[in-house]
Structure 1
Amino acid sequence: MDHKRELTSVDLAALETELGEFTGAKLDKAYLYAEDDLVRLKMRDFDRGRVEFIIELGDVKGAYVADADHVPDAPGRPPDFAMMLRNRLSGADLVRVEQFEFDRILELEFSREDGSTTVVAELFGDGNLAVLDGHGDVIDSLETVRLKSRTVAPGSQYEFPSARFNPLTVDYDGFVARIRESDADLVRTLATQLNFGGLYGEELCTRAGIDYHEAVEDLTDDQLERLYEVVSEFAAVLRDGPLDPRVYYEDLDATDEDGEPERRRVDATPVALEEYDHRYSEPFETFNAALDDYFYNFQREEEVEGGETTKPDFESEISKYEHIIRQQQEAIEDFEADAQAEREKAELLYARYDLVDDVLSTVQNARTEDVPWDDIEAKFAEGADRGIPAAEAVVGVDGSEGTVTLDIDGTRVTVDADTGVEKNADELYKEAKRIEGKKEGALAAIEDTREDLEAVKKRRDQWEADDGEAGGGDQADEGDDEPTDWLSQASIPVRKNEQWYEQFRWFRTSDGYLVIGGRDADDNEQLVQKYLERGDKFFHAQAHGGPVTVLKATGPSESAKEVDFPQSSLEEAAQFAVSYSSVWKDGKFAGDVYMVDPDQVSKTPESGEYLEKGGFAVRGDRTYFEDTPVGVAVGIQCEDRTQVVGGPPAAIEGDVATSIVIEPGQYAQNDIAKRLYREFKSRFADESFVRKVASPDLIQEFLPPGGSRMVDE
C-alpha cells in the first residue's frame, strides 16, 4: 500500500476545528525551506508556549502543528518570500483557521494593528501559498497561476477555485439528486461526484451496508436514506467530535529482534475506519498529533536494508489518473452531445411550429372534454391512416406522464401535452443548459485530475533525477559545461518569479537593458508619469496609435543616471516601438520611429491644445530611426526563469531555448497564438511544460495588434 502523501478534503474538515484552537497565538518568525517546498510559521501561545505550524506544498502536502522536536533546523539566509512573510506577520495574532468550502485549501488569517493578512495554502496540484492583504489582493505567492478559470498573481484579486460540492452540509433532497445524476456505481459516485475520495467512499458504503459496485439507478429509497444517515453521522463527528484519530500501519515481510512483525506507517485518519479493521493502528489524542507523527516518520520508514529507498509505483499511479482523465473526457463529450441534441429538439419545435401546435391543441381540446388518453392515441392512429401530417408525426402517447412523443424530420421529441410550443421549447433549452452545467463541473474535475497527474509525473521525474545524481559518481560532473538541450528534456522544472515590469509589454535588449511599452492608454499614462526617469530614452512610432516605449537606464529602486546605450539596444527599442504600433496592424513592414530624452516629454499641452488620455507633448529635437523594419520573435526561456518572452528577434533568439519569428499576416491574434502554441508543443519533449509556461493566452500577450503569420510558414 502506498503512503498517504496529501491531506484530503475530509481530513481538512476534521482538522479545521483542532487548528482553530490555536487562534490567539502570536507569530514570531516565518521560514521558507525552498528545496522542500515547506513553510514554517513559528508562533507563541500564552497557554501552550511554542507553536510550530508546518505547511508542506511539495511531494507531500499537509498542514498541521508539529512537535518542536520535529521541525527542521532554520535554513540559512531567508529568501525574499520569507522576508515578506516576516514583514507582514511578525507580531500578528492568528485570528482564523478555516477550510475553504470542501476543498483542499486552508486559510490562516492574522491580525495586527496595521491590518490583516491571510495566508492561503493550496494543498492540491503542485501546491501553492498565496499571501493576501485585507482586501483579498495577492501580495505575493510561491507560484503564479494564470488559468481561464482563475488567477493567482501579485497585485491581482485572489480567486478561489470554483466551490466544490459539499456533501457534509447538503440536505437530503440535494444529496439524493446529486447521486441520481451519476451514471457510475455508488463508490465512484461518492468518491468523485460527492468529493469524498476513494477511501472514504468505500468506508461510507461499508457503514451503510451497501455493496461498493451497486449501480446508482438500482439504489432503493431505503438504501439512500440509510446512506444519508451514515453521511450525516460522519459529518457530525468531523464537525463536533468526538474524533478517534489513528495512524495505520501495514506489516512488512520481516520481523524484529523480538519476533514481532515489522511495520510501516501508511495512513493517518481522523476516525477509526472499518475499511482498515485488518490493519494495526495506533490511537492519538488529536488528529493533529496523528498527522505530526505520521508525516514526521513516514519518509524515514521508506528506507530499507542497504540504505536504499523503495521506489513508489509511479507508473501505476500515472496510469490510474490517465484512465480517469479518459473517462472524464468521454463524459464531457457525452454532455456536449446531449446538450446539442436538446437544443436541436427545441429548434425543431419552432421549425415545425404549426404541426406541433396542431398536435398539442388536439390533445388539450380532447382532455378538456375528458376524452381518455387511449382514445386520444387511437384518434391519432386513425388520422395517420388517413394521411394527416400532424397525426403521422405522433409515435407515442403516455397518459401517465401527460406527454406526446413526436417524430419530427427523423428526430423523436417528447413534449408536455398541457403546455404550448414555446413552453416545451423553453424546457428543452433549460435541459440543455442543465447538461452544460454538468459539463462545466466535469471540466473543473478534469483540470484537477490533470494537475494531480502532472504532480505525480513531477515526483517521478524528481525521483529519477535524484537517483541518477546519487549513482552518477564523478562522471556526473563531466558534462557540466555542456549547454542543456531543453527541447529533449523529459521534464523541465518550472521556475517563476514575477517582476514589476511584466504588467507592461517588455523585453531585454541583446545588451541586457530593459525595454517596457504600454498596452493601452492607461499604460502609456503610467509609463510617462511613473517610470520615465533621467537617463532613460523615450521612443514612439511616427504613425498614430502606438505604445509609449521606454529604454530603461536603471531599475525603479536605483538612482537615475545617464547611460551611453549601445547602438544595438537603441535599434532594438525602435523596432519594438514600430512593431507594436498601427504600422503592423496596417500590414506594413517598416515605419519611422523617433527618440527623445525624458525632459522633452510632457503631459502639459500647449495653450489652446488638449491631450487625450495616454497622449503627451514632445518638445525639442528628435532622433529618427527611419524605415525601421517591423519584427517580433516569441520564444520560451528555460534557464533562470521559465517563461514565454517576445520582442525584436535579435534580442530574443539568443536568450531562449527556441523561438518563432512572426511578421504581419492573415491570422488574428487569438489564432496565431494557438498556432505558435502548437508549434512550441511539437518542439518540446515535455509538452506539459509548454502548457504551464506558454499557453495561448500568455503567448498572445507578446503579439502585436492586428494579423500575423509565422515567417517560415
Structure 2
Amino acid sequence: MDPKRELTSVDLAAIVRELGAYEGAKVDKAYLYGDDLVRLKLRDFDRGRLELLLEVGEIKRAHTVAPERVPDAPGRPPQFAMMLRNRLSGADFAGVEQYEFDRILEFTFEREDGTTRIIVELFGQGNVAVTNGEYEVIDCLETVRLKSRTVVPGSRYEFPESRTNPLTISREAFAYEMDDSDSDVVRTLATQLNFGGLYAEEVCSRAGIEKGMDIADADEAVYDRLYETIERLAIDIRNANVDPRLYLEDTDDESGSPDDTDETSPDRVVDVTPFPLEERAELPADAYETFLSALDDYFFRLELADEDEPDPTTQRPDFEAQIAKYERIIEQQEGAIDGFEREADALREQAESLYANYGLVDEVLSTIRTAREQDRPWDEIEATFDEGKERGIEAAEAVIDIDGSEGTVTVDVDGEYVDLVVRDGVEQNADRLYTEAKTVEEKKEGALAAIEDTREDLEDAKRRRDEWEADDATDEADMDETDEEIDWLSESSIPIRENEPWYDRFRWFHTSDGYLVIGGRNADQNEELVKKYLEPGDKVLHTQAHGGPVTVLKATEPSEASSHDIELPDSSIEEAAQFAVSYSSVWKDGRYAGDVYAVDSDQVTKTPESGEYLEKGGFAVRGDRTYYDDTPVGVAVGIQCEPYTRVIGGPPSAIEGTAATTIALEPGRYAQADAAKRIYRRFRERFEDESYVRKVASPDRIQHFMPPGGSRIAED
C-alpha cells in the first residue's frame, strides 16, 4: 500500500477544530523552504512555542509539529518569506476555516494595521496565497490564470467553484445527488458527494451497504442508512469527537529464516486518520490523543522512510514532469504578459479619453466637489445626478456610480468605465492612470525577465534528459555486452536488489509479452481484484471447475490510464489461461488439464441476477465467453537476478525467459511445504553463492508461487 501523501477533505475538517484552540497565538517569524513549504513560528500564551507547517508540493499537509522536528532555518530568506514577516510579525492568529468541503484552508491573522489571510490550496499543484482583509492577493507561490479562476498578485483571490459539502447536505439534496448518478454507490459518494475514494468506501462499510451496488438498485432504505452514517460522521467532526489512528504496514521479512537474529525493521506508516476506519481494520495502528500529534508523527516517520529510499541519483529523474511543469509555467507567464500589455494599454487609453472629454469630466468632478463643499451628503448628490439623467443632461448621463466611502465616481467616457478620484482634477486623474500604466509595464518587464529564466530552466531540463538518455543508452549497450558474459550461477557474490510491487501479496507473473497477470489467493482477494483492480481493457479468466482464482490479465498498470483500445496478444491470454487452471482445484485434484474461459472486464459484475446470490469472491458474467478447452497445467518456479533479485513463478514459457534458473513442477504427492524445501535445496546446489539463495529464495518464498495441493519436480 502506498503511503498517504496528501490530506483529505475529512482530515482538514478535523484539523480546523483542533487548530482553533490556538487562537490568540502571536506570530514570531515566517520561513520558506524551497518553493512549497511555509513554516510559521508562533508563541501561545498557555503552550509556549508553536510551529505550523504548510506544505503544498508532492506532500500536501497543514499541521503543527514538535519544535525539535522543525527543519533548520534556510539561509537568506526569499522575498516571499520577507513579505510574510513584514505582514505577520506580532500578529494574532485569529482562526482557520476550511473553504466549504474543499481541500483549502484559510488562516486569518490580525494586527493593528490590518488583516492578513493565508489561503492554502492542498489540491492539484498546490499553492499558498497571501491576501489582505479584502482578499486582494499580495503574493502567492504559484500564479494561476485559468478560465475558471485567477490567482495573481494585485487581483482579488478567487476560490474554485463550489462543490457539494456532504457534511452539511440535506436529506433531499443527498437523494438528488445520488439519483443524478449512473454509477455505483461508492463511486457516487466519492465523486458526486466529494468524499474521495477512501471515505466513500468507509461510509459504505459503516452503513453496511455493498460498495458495488448500482445506484438503480439503491432504494430509500439504502439512502437512509448512508445518510445517517454521514450525519454521524459530520457530528463527530463538528464536535471534535476524534480518536486518531496512525496505520502501519508490516515490513518484517516473511521468509521465516532461522538465521535471522537481527531486530525486525520498524513498521512503515501508510495512513493517518482522525478516527478508526473499518477500511483499515486489517492494519496495525497506533492511537493518539490529538489528530495534530498523529499528523506530526506520521509525516515525520514518512520523511524518515523516504530518506531510506534508494539514492535518487541512481534512478532516472522524472524529466517529463519537469519539462511539462516549465512549459506550463511559460504558458501562464505568456498569458500574464499579454494581460499586462492589455491592462497598460487600457489605462493609457482611459487617460487619453479624459483629455479628449475634458469638459465633460471636469463638469462631473466640479459638480460633486461643489456639492461636498456645501456639506451635501453623498446619497443626495447621487440622487441629483439621477434627476439630471431623466432631464437628458449629458454630464449626468455619464455618471455610472458614486462611491462616497472611497470618494470616487465612475464615469462612462467613450464607452469605457473610468474610476475618478473626486478631490483630484482631470489632469491629476489622468496622471494617476498614466502612472498605473507605467507600473503595469514594469510588471510586464519583470514577467519578461522571469519567462527568460523559465525558458533557460526548460532548456536545461531537456539537456539533462538528453544527456541521461545518451548515458543510459551507453550503459544499456555495455550491459548487453556484459549480460552475455554473466553466468549468475557461477557468480561468487550476487548483489541484492529487492523490490516489493503493489501486487506482491496476490499470485502474479508477467507474461512473455510483458503484461501483468494477478490472481486471488482466497475469496477476499478475489473480491478485491474484481472491485478494486479490474479496469477497462482487462481480461478476466476463470476455470470451469469450482475453486479457481479470479485471474486478471491487466492491459495497463493502475497508475496508467485504462483503455478499451489495447489488444492483448493471444500468447499472453493463453499463458494467463494456463496460470488460471494451474492454481485451481484442477492441480489440487491431480489432473493435468482443465477448461478455462475468458471475458472482457465490462462483462463482469458483482450484481447477481434476480433471485440469485453471489458468494464472497464470486461474480456474475454477462454475455459470451471465449473458452480454452483442455488447457494444460504448468508451473515453473525460478530465481530472478536482474533487474531485481527475487523468486518468481508461473507458466514456464513466461518464467524461463526471465529467471536465471527455473524448476518445472507438475501435480504430485509432495505437500507444498515439502516440495518447496526440495526446490530450495536444488537451487542451492545450482548457485555458487549459496547465501544469495538463502536471502532471496527461502522455502517460504518459493511456496508463495506454488499451486495448491501436492506437487513434484517435473523431472523426478
TM-score w.r.t. structure 2 length? 0.47
